[in-house]
């Protein structure tokens, strides 16, 4: 199977940051990383490392945990768990930092609200 | 290409009735649709069956006790928009001249599913981080609250309105009136959505019979004409590329353009209110009101059949009629057809001539809706 049909890894090798792709033709930066541009179909893309910090763009929570879309400083939006579960603080615009969560089932995208 | 009309509709009550099975419910919906159209089974030339979790060869199994005489049965899985996708295909067959009369149906046994959000794969990075359907809709709600000042009370008002009309709909799952206080006081599911703002897991079946203009003209039929029928798929969302029109907005624009009408011309619309915020988002996506205005639209009572604006989800929608996944799309068509024939009883929109049905399907949140169909129907 050609390389471009394989899923690409989400995290950098050290697990600390997220990877994305930037299309060499249309320039759109996208997540998850991809071998074919989702917007123009071009197959030459650069691997990029995404910013670690951003602001909550949308969120929700139940009694167990909170989640949200986070707009990273480089303009790409990524979905993840948001901690701590604090409905009083959680709001659109709250600054957060990527802090990947290691679980038995693998690494999960988690953002922690800045102090 | 020929015009296509709906000449018969039928559906079961939507409720907990898993003991009837797919075939039992499908028999009722299809028999009612045939009776409504005044047709025998032999008149059906092609069958399209929407299914999601019914399993392999669903349509053939559901219909095995009918004398359809071996006509083609094609099963279509397209998430919560499966049966409306089946109707899209039935229309295409008739327009292409492959048949003159086609049956579309959908059925679902969903009530035995585990309590809580529908189970989805944990394999995907989003699901692993906690994404599910209520959470996705809840995020849209918070975004809307932030951007446009949508209030929790307006979200609850969607449910109050839904139950108000569902009292008069004998096929609806929930028919008891409720209040803003009761809606907001029900269990937290995904803030700001409470239990009453989520559709129930319902069992049911629905069916629609479609015919070419030639058949309509030579018979004694009560046609409701299909003026627009469009289906679109979602596109990628996680990038720095702003998405200017979502799948729902794009599908609606295409269907309304095909019909040659403006959204405000619609007398009635069924929109995909799997959650209260769904009705808000999709009322705006169809262009029935401006962006950010749907909270006010429901609060002002415009979505009820009693005002001169477009009435929204006069059936009670997915919130009150219930949401048996693969049966919901054609249940929407059932309601619009009753409205356009003037047969909707106490929930009738007076003089309704033009209606739309908007059905979404989702399973992967990396795209802005997996599938969306919009039909525009006109009274005959």
pLDDT tens for residues B350-380? 999 999 999 999 878 888 888 999 999 999 9
Q: How many contacts (CB atoms, under 8 Å) link A and B?
A: 89
Residue B117 lies in a domain: no
Tell me, what's the pLDDT at A3?
54
Helical segments of B149-186, H only: 152-166, 180-185
Do B239 and A79 make contact, defined as CB atoms within 8 angstroms? no
B126 at the A interface (CB within 8 A)? yes
Do residue B91 and residue B192 come from a single domain? no
Q: Report ipTM (2 d.p.).
A: 0.94
Do residue B171 and residue B47 come from a single domain? no
Do residue B148 and residue B282 come from a single domain? yes
Which helix H or strand E contains B376, and what residues bound it?
Answer: strand B371-379
Q: Which residues contact B123 (CB under 8 A, 6 or more apart)?
A: none
- What is the span of the domain harbouring residue B143? 125-199+227-379
Do A77 and B122 make contact, defined as CB atoms within 8 angstroms? no
Do residue B339 and residue B268 come from a single domain? yes
Which residues of B fall within a CB distance of 8 Å from A110? Answer: 129
B190 at the A interface (CB within 8 A)? yes
Do B191 and A61 make contact, defined as CB atoms within 8 angstroms? yes
Do residue B106 and residue B53 come from a single domain? yes
Which residues of A fall within a CB distance of 8 Å from B143? Answer: 57-58, 92
Do residue B242 and residue B185 come from a single domain? yes
The average pLDDT across A83-95 equals: 97
Nearest-CA distance from A97 to chain B in Å?
15
What is the pairing mode between strands A19-23 and B46-50? unpaired
Domain ranges of chain A: 1-50, 53-113
Do residue B58 and residue B158 come from a single domain? no
E strand residue ranges, B66-191: 73-76, 101-108, 188-190
B195 at the A interface (CB within 8 A)? no
Tokens of B154: 């307006």
As annotated, the active-site residues of B are 80, 323
Residue B272 lies in a domain: yes
Please report which confidence band the pLDDT of residue A115 belongs to, taking 50, 70 and 90 as the band edges: confident
A10 at the B interface (CB within 8 A)? yes
Distances (CA, A) of B181 to B156, B186, B196, B290: 8, 9, 11, 27
Do residue B206 and residue B243 come from a single domain? no
Residue tagged 């359809």 (tokens): B68
Question: CATH code at B303?
Answer: 3.40.47.10
Do residue B216 and residue B339 come from a single domain? no
Residue B52 lies in a domain: yes
From the list B125, B135, B240, which residue is nearest A28 (CB)? B240
Q: Which of A76-85, B117-126, B137-146, B234-243 has the lowest mean pLDDT?
A: B117-126
Number of domains into which chain B is organized: 2
Tell me, what's the pLDDT at A2?
47
Q: What is the mean pLDDT of chain B?
A: 96
Residue-wise pLDDT for A27-37, tens only, equals 999 999 999 99
Do residue B87 and residue B194 come from a single domain? no
Does pLDDT of B261 surpass 50? yes
Distances (CA, A) of B179 to A55, B85, B95, B201: 36, 35, 46, 22
- The closest alpha carbon to B171, from B54, B70, B321, belongs to B321
Do A77 and B190 make contact, defined as CB atoms within 8 angstroms? no
Does pLDDT of B198 surpass 50? yes
Tell me, what's the pLDDT at B120?
67
Scanning B138-157 for CB atoms below 8 A from A yields 138-143, 146
A107 SS3 class:
strand
Quickly list DSSP for B238-278.
Answer: SBSS--SS-HHHHHHHHHHHHHT--GGG-SEEE---SBHHH
Residue tagged 């957060």 (tokens): A96
Do B239 and A110 make contact, defined as CB atoms within 8 angstroms? no
> Measured between alpha carbons, how far is B171 from B18 in angstroms, rounded to an integer?
16
Residue B231 lies in a domain: yes
Residue-wise pLDDT for B274-319, tens only, equals 999 999 999 999 999 999 999 999 999 999 999 999 999 999 999 9
Cα torsion B57, B59, B61, B67 to 10°: value is: -130
Do residue B34 and residue B135 come from a single domain? no
Q: Say which CATH topology domain A53-113 has.
A: OB fold (Dihydrolipoamide Acetyltransferase, E2P) (2.40.50)
The average pLDDT across B185-204 equals: 98
B130 at the A interface (CB within 8 A)? yes
> Measured between alpha carbons, how far is B206 from B183 in angstroms, rounded to an integer?
28
B208 at the A interface (CB within 8 A)? no
A11 at the B interface (CB within 8 A)? no
Do residue B167 and residue B268 come from a single domain? yes
Buried residues in B54-93 as b, exposed as e (16+ CB within 10 A): beeebbebbbeebebeebebebbbbbbbbbbbbbbbbbbb
Residue B18 lies in a domain: yes
Nearest-CA distance from B130 to chain A in Å?
7
Residue B118 lies in a domain: no
């Amino acid at each position: 199977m050609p390389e471009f049909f394989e899923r690409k890894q989400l995290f950098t090798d050290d697990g600390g940051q997220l990877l994305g792709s930037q299309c060499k033709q249309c320039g759109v930066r996208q997540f998850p990383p991809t071998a074919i541009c989702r917007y123009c179909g071009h197959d030459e893309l650069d691997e990029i490392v995404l910013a670690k910090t951003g602001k909550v763009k949308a969120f929700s929570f139940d009694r167990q945990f909170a989640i949200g879309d986070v707009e990273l400083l480089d303009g790409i939006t990524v979905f993840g768990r948001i901690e701590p579960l604090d409905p009083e603080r959680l709001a659109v615009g709250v600054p957060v930092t990527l802090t990947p969560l290691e679980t038995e089932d693998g690494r999960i995208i988690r953002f922690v609200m800045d102090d | 290409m020929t015009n296509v009309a709906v000449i018969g509709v039928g559906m079961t009550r939507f409720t907990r009735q898993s003991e009837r099975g797919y075939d039992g419910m499908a028999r009722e919906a299809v028999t009612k649709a045939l009776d409504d159209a005044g047709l025998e089974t032999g008149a059906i030339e092609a069958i399209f069956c929407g299914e999601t979790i019914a399993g392999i060869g669903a349509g053939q199994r559901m219909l095995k006790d009918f004398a359809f005489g071996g006509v083609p049965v094609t099963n279509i899985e397209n998430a919560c928009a499966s049966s409306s996708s089946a109707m899209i295909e039935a229309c295409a067959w008739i327009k292409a001249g492959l048949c003159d009369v086609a049956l579309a149906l959908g059925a679902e046994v969903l009530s035995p599913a585990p309590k809580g959000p529908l189970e989805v794969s944990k394999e995907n990075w989003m699901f692993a981080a906690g994404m599910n359907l209520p959470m996705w809709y809840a995020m849209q709600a918070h975004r809307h609250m932030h951007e446009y000042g949508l209030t929790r009370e307006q979200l609850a008002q969607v449910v109050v309105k839904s139950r108000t009309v569902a009292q008069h709909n004998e096929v609806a799952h929930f028919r008891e009136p409720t209040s803003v206080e009761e809606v907001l006081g029900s269990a937290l599911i995904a803030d700001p959505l409470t239990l009453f703002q989520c559709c129930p897991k319902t069992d049911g079946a629905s069916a629609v019979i479609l015919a070419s203009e030639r058949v309509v003209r030579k018979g004694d039929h009560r046609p409701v004409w299909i003026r627009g029928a469009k289906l679109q798929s979602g596109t990628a969302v996680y990038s720095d590329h702003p998405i200017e029109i979502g799948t729902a907005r794009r599908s609606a624009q295409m269907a309304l353009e095909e019909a040659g009408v403006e959204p405000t011309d619609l007398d009635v619309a069924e929109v995909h209110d799997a959650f209260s915020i769904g009705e808000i988002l999709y009322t705006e996506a169809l262009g029935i009101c401006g962006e950010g205005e749907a909270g006010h639209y429901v609060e002002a009572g415009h979505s009820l059949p009693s005002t001169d604006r477009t009435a929204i989800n006069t059936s009670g929608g997915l919130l009150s009629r219930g949401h048996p996944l693969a049966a919901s799309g054609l249940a929407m068509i059932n309601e619009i057809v009753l409205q356009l024939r003037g047969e909707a009883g106490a929930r009738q929109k007076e003089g309704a001539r033009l209606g739309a049905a908007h059905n979404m399907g989702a399973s992967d949140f990396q795209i802005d809706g997996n599938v969306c169909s919009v039909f525009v129907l006109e009274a005959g």
